Amino acid sequence: MSASASSDIAVPIDKHGHDEALGRAQPARSTAHKNYKGFVAGVFSGIAKLSVGHPFDTIKVRLQTSDKSQFRGPLQCLVQTIRNEGVRGLYKGATPPYIKTRLILGTWNSMLGSLTFYRRILNDNIFSGSYFQGVKPAPIEQAIATDRQLPTIGHGIAGIMAGWTVSFIAAPVEHVKARLQIQYAVNKRDRLYSGPIDCCKKILRTHGLKGLYRGLAATMLFRSFFFFWWGSYDIFTRLFSTHSTLSAPAVNFWAGGLSAQVFWITSYPSDVVKQRLMTDPLGGGLGDGKPRFNKWKDAAQEIWKTDGVRGFWRGFTPCFLRAFPANAVALVAFESVMRALPE
């Protein structure tokens, strides 16, 4: 899941389409124990997603932030990156400090936690009311007993709320990652930033916290499309659970992969705008050039003026190819670790 949302995977779903956030039937466990399992599973899930998806993400970002004179398409971008920078060039922005930051601070774990929290809040206070269910509000346990589930629109709304919440972690992380990914110099001495920590220090020193959070509004706009991710995940999960004989891990895999594709199809133009804004020179004492955009609307207008509609879809191919395997593998890793850890 940037991604850069970043961005992120589904909560465990059982064969009958119940998610753990809404109290899948199982023995009572302490909150600390559940948090421990979720954290460990989230770490392994994050490693799996980053290992599979980061090279695709690097190609995507480079295409999004360059013009056709530099790269004609994803294949040329891939070949030139490997030829000039080696395979390690595909993993720029994924250095150990960044991995540690991402996995522990966790846009990934934050997404899972906030999504679970908002699902429960919506289920308890909004979708359990008589207007939606024909019954009085009931606790989660009673909801499980009567096989009542959060409706698809509830999952979508929870996705939006979780996306906005996690944006405050994701925005600076994705900002730094994007700036590292577009450093083309082979020799480290010729690069403006030696790594993620150096990048953070220089931005904070010259532009303060506001500079580090450049692109926050664009990130929140992009992550508003989590409505389609989590809404479609619920739909696919119900369909596979009802109309197939797939096992629970297989349902997770296919629902997670397909819903990620739905998300990227709906959100991709906003991601292009976000990346253009985040990689735009900050100027001032940083000495990286003259800024072109003050806000995300300026970046969107520039893309439209220069390349029209096609400009909003530049780099879509590697993104689309990445979405299914990266998110599906991450989801399988999360589920596998959750099942393997002792109760």
At 296, give phi and psi (nearest 5°): -65, -30
Question: What parts of the chain have a pLDDT lower than 70?
Answer: 1-36, 38-39, 96-110, 112, 129-148, 343
Q: Over pLDDT 70: what percentage of the chain?
A: 78
User: Rounded to whole angstroms, how far apart are CA atoms 172 and 219?
Assistant: 10
pLDDT, residue 151, reads: 92
Q: What amino acid occupies position 82?
A: I
Picking from 180, 262, 167, 152, the residue whose alpha carbon sits closest to that of residue 214 is: 167
User: Rounded to whole angstroms, how far apart are CA atoms 253 and 331?
Assistant: 6
Taking each helix axis from N to C terminus, what angle separates 74-85 and 31-64, rounded to the nearest 10 degrees? Answer: 100
User: Rounded to whole angstroms, how far apart are CA atoms 211 and 289?
Assistant: 15
How far, CA to CA in Å, does 3 sit from each of 22, 56, 73, 221? 24, 12, 22, 14
What residues does 19 pair with on adjacent strands?
13
Q: What amino acid occupies position 20?
A: E
pLDDT, residue 282, reads: 95
190 burial via Cβ count (<10 Å: 0-12, 13-18, 19+): exposed
pLDDT, residue 40, reads: 75
